[in-house]
């Protein structure tokens, strides 16, 4: 049996890393056991076997309202490696652009002029949209919990065109689910936190370095500097329960590690099998097998010339949803122009012909920027993460467990645990901080690691239940 720092963290995704950051900031040493060779979990990069290039599994972005993720990045010294977008370009199929940016008005009015100019919706559709938005924001989350968003939208006169031209556009990207599978309280959360509480909540933060650089290299350098032990390629196969506490954990290679406190920061389907393998009675746990997942696809494209100088764009009424220009940094003349197109809730794509999808997306981009219509696609690659996020299906909150599990020295972490947030890097970091707070409390240390939300401005507090 090997001895170890007092806290063992299973899973080196953002949740596990945030727990390690939180604990080590209060002088508690810990050991992170990650099954893969790299840290970062779902927010990481891979080496493209065709040319050895490092590619992010999918473009990840954060938002101004993601205060805990920002705090995590600031703590590990990586906050400067993000570009803050203060405007977003929406491109309709006619090529006409609507640029969304904050007007000099207090929240929630700051985005009103941009919303009023969504040119692909008629004036009456925009009026109905504003009615729908204000109805949603004026209803408290508790009344929306468990309500299917598509039903709610129909009841509030949101036509299919308004749904595809706004609700789908914003929410399917933010929640990675289709409108008929979203719990309406989560739709409200995105719109309240992102668009209505504070002028900067909606701003998009785009990493300027690879996800592996941020979440593997920089995070592990920081944690190692604080004495955190990190073991890669160390999958955990079993937790042993003695007298209602986890006594030790066993790796696949057979190492048995003593543990005073354990934080398990792995996805629910993996936790389910780990608990089964450990023979732990789960009758007083939420049924994790009922937590569903949704896929996200990213199409990586290399053209022989730039299609646009825009850093990114939201594409309306197309298969492609977001385009991220990945050639904005230093490039040599003659370098291929590289971009990534993200397609959330991509169930239709899973069964489609992969080459056909790559070609369709490339064609959509060429049609969007007709001045580059002759650009040649040099290479394309479709990456589908089938279990990218947990689905925010109606009633999901009843399935999300708290970080404190029914076993005293076992904490759960992961974007899917109870944080109130959808599956995001912010949710993952929050869960890690909350799990670390529980461990510290068990050791007699009262510490607040969770960071406050952006302040809600007076007009928003007055108009909408917070
Ligand atoms: C394609 C895609 C696009 C996304 N886009 C965005 C975005 O733009 N913005 C955003 O905020 N979020 C985005 N997300 C969501 C975000 O990546 C996740 O919410 C977040 O990374 C989850 O972190 P986590 O630590 O909870 O889980 P994970 O990242 O899944 O980490 C779990 C870790 O546990 C390890 N593990 C599993 N089993 C074991 C075991 N038995 N022993 C040891 N280790 C184990 C895994 O290898 C993994 O490293 C996206 C996700 C995907 C997949």
Residue 51: per-residue pLDDT:
83
pLDDT tens for 243-290 read 999 999 999 999 999 999 999 999 999 999 999 899 998 888 889 999
Q: Which of 20, 31, 35, 43 for mutating ligand 1's site (highest number of atoms within 8 Å of CB)?
A: 43
Residue 96: per-residue pLDDT:
86
Residue 39 burial (CB count, 10 A): 26
438 CA → ligand 1 middle, Å:
22
DSSP 444-463: T-----SPPPPPPPHHHHHH
Is the CB of 270 inside a 6 Å radius of any atom of ligand 1? yes
Taking residues 342-347, report their average pLDDT.
96
Distance, in Å, from the CA atom of 109 to the CA atom of 465, rounded to the nearest integer, reads 16
- % of the chain surpassing 70 pLDDT: 98
Q: Which helix (H) or strand (E) holds 101?
A: strand 97-101
Is the CB of 60 inside a 6 Å radius of any atom of ligand 1? yes
Is the CB of 414 inside a 6 Å radius of any atom of ligand 1? yes
Is the CB of 43 inside a 6 Å radius of any atom of ligand 1? yes
Residue 296 burial (CB count, 10 A): 25
Residue 245: per-residue pLDDT:
95
Banded pLDDT at 329 (limits 50, 70, 90): low
- Is the pLDDT at 381 greater than 70, yes or no? yes
Banded pLDDT at 351 (limits 50, 70, 90): confident
217 CA → ligand 1 middle, Å:
16
Locate the ligand 1 atom nearest the alpha carbon of residue 428 and give its number. 26
Task: Give the residue, by CA position, lying nearest to ligand 1 atom 20.
Answer: 425
SS3 of 120, please? coil
| Backbone torsions φ then ψ of 249, nearest 5 degrees | -125, 155
Is the CB of 294 inside a 6 Å radius of any atom of ligand 1? no
Distance, in Å, from the CA atom of 103 to the CA atom of 199, rounded to the nearest integer, reads 9
Is the CB of 10 inside a 6 Å radius of any atom of ligand 1? yes
- Is the pLDDT at 417 greater than 70, yes or no? yes
Is the CB of 428 inside a 6 Å radius of any atom of ligand 1? yes
What is the sign of the dihedral through the CA atoms of 47, 49, 50 and 51? positive
Taking residues 106-126, report their average pLDDT.
93
Lowest mean pLDDT among 28-37, 328-337, 386-395: 328-337
List of E strands, 243-376: 245-251, 256-258, 261-264, 293-303, 312-315, 322-325, 337-344
Is 165 in contact with 126 (CB distance < 8 Å)? Answer: no
Residue 310 burial (CB count, 10 A): 17
Q: Are strands 377-390 and 410-412 parallel, antiparallel or unpaired?
A: unpaired
42 CA → ligand 1 middle, Å:
3
Q: Which of 41, 176, 400 for mutating ligand 1's site (highest number of atoms within 8 Å of CB)?
A: 41
| Backbone torsions φ then ψ of 121, nearest 5 degrees | -110, 145
Distance, in Å, from the CA atom of 116 to the CA atom of 118, rounded to the nearest integer, reads 6
Residue 332: per-residue pLDDT:
75
Distance, in Å, from the CA atom of 263 to the CA atom of 236, rounded to the nearest integer, reads 12
Locate the ligand 1 atom nearest the alpha carbon of residue 427 and give its number. 19
Taking residues 121-149, report their average pLDDT.
97
Locate the ligand 1 atom nearest the alpha carbon of residue 69 and give its number. 11
Residue 50: per-residue pLDDT:
84
Is the CB of 13 inside a 6 Å radius of any atom of ligand 1? yes
Is the CB of 62 inside a 6 Å radius of any atom of ligand 1? yes
Instruction: Kindly report the average pLDDT of the chain as a whole number.
Output: 95
Residue 334: per-residue pLDDT:
81
422 CA → ligand 1 middle, Å:
13
Is the CB of 182 inside a 6 Å radius of any atom of ligand 1? no
Residue 333: per-residue pLDDT:
75
Is the CB of 114 inside a 6 Å radius of any atom of ligand 1? no
Is the CB of 392 inside a 6 Å radius of any atom of ligand 1? no
- % of the chain surpassing 90 pLDDT: 90
Taking residues 7-11, report their average pLDDT.
98
Locate the ligand 1 atom nearest the alpha carbon of residue 42 and give its number. 29
Residue 3: per-residue pLDDT:
67
Task: Give the residue, by CA position, lying nearest to ligand 1 atom 4.
Answer: 60
Residue 373: per-residue pLDDT:
93
Q: Which two tokens stand for residue 2?
A: 């090997």
How many helices and strands in the chain, by DSSP H and E?
A: 16, 20
Q: Which two tokens stand for residue 256?
A: 């048995």
pLDDT tens for 32-68 read 999 999 999 999 999 998 888 899 999 999 999 999 9
Residue located via tokens 């949704």: 294
68 CA → ligand 1 middle, Å:
16
124 CA → ligand 1 middle, Å:
41
- Is the pLDDT at 229 greater than 80, yes or no? yes
Task: Give the residue, by CA position, lying nearest to ligand 1 atom 53.
Answer: 388
424 CA → ligand 1 middle, Å:
9
Distance, in Å, from the CA atom of 15 to the CA atom of 11, rounded to the nearest integer, reads 8
Taking residues 397-408, report their average pLDDT.
96
Distances (CA, A) of 282 to 117, 119, 279: 52, 52, 9
Is the CB of 341 inside a 6 Å radius of any atom of ligand 1? no
Q: Is 156 left (phi over 0), alpha (psi -120 to 50) or beta?
A: alpha
Taking residues 359-371, report their average pLDDT.
96
Predicted structure pTM score: 0.97
Q: Which of 36, 266, 300 for mutating ligand 1's site (highest number of atoms within 8 Å of CB)?
A: 266
């Amino acid at each position: 049996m090997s001895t170890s720092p007092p806290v063992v963290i299973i899973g080196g995704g953002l949740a596990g890393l945030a727990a390690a950051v939180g604990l080590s900031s209060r002088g508690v040493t810990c050991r992170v056991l990650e099954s893969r060779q790299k840290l970062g979990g779902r927010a990481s990069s891979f080496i493209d076997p065709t040319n050895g290039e490092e590619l992010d599994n999918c473009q990840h972005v954060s938002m101004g309202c993601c205060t805990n993720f920002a705090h995590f990045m600031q703590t590990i010294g990586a906050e400067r490696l993000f570009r803050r977008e203060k405007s977003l370009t929406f491109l309709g199929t006619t090529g006409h652009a609507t640029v969304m940016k904050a007007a000099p008005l207090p929240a929630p009015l700051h985005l009103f002029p941009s919303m009023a100019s969504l040119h692909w919706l008629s004036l009456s559709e925009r009026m109905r949209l504003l009615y729908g938005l204000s109805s949603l924001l004026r209803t408290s989350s508790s009344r929306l919990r468990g309500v299917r968003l598509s039903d709610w939208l129909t009841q509030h006169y949101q036509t299919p065109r308004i749904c595809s031209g706004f609700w789908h556009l914003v929410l399917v990207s933010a929640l990675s689910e289709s409108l008929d599978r979203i719990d309406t309280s989560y739709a409200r959360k995105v719109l309240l936190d992102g668009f209505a509480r504070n002028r900067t909540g909606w701003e998009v933060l785009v990493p300027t370095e690879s996800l592996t650089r941020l979440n593997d290299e920089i995070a592990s350098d920081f944690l190692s500097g604080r004495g955190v032990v990190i073991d890669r390629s160390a999958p955990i196969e079993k937790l042993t329960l003695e007298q209602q506490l986890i006594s030790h954990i066993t790796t696949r290679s057979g190492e048995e590690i003593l543990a005073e406190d354990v934080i398990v920061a792995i996805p629910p389907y993996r936790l389910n099998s780990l608990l089964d393998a450990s023979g732990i009675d789960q009758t007083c746990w939420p049924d994790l097998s009922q937590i569903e997942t949704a896929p996200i696809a990213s199409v990586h494209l290399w053209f022989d010339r730039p299609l646009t100088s825009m850093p990114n764009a939201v594409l309306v009424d197309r298969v492609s949803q977001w385009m991220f220009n990945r050639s904005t940094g230093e490039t040599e003349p003659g370098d291929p122009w590289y971009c990534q197109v993200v397609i959330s809730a991509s169930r239709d794509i899973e069964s489609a012909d992969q080459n056909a999808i790559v070609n369709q997306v490339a064609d959509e981009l060429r049609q969007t920027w007709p001045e580059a219509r002759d650009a040649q696609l040099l290479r394309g690659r479709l990456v589908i993460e089938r279990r990218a996020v947990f689905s925010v299906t109606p009633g999901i909150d009843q399935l999300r467990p708290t970080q404190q599990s029914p076993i005293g020295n076992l904490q759960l972490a992961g974007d899917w645990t109870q944080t109130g947030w959808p599956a995001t890097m912010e949710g993952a970091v929050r869960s890690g901080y909350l799990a670390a707070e529980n461990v510290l409390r068990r050791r007699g240390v009262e510490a607040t690691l969770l960071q406050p939300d952006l302040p809600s401005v007076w007009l928003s507090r007055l108009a909408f239940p917070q």
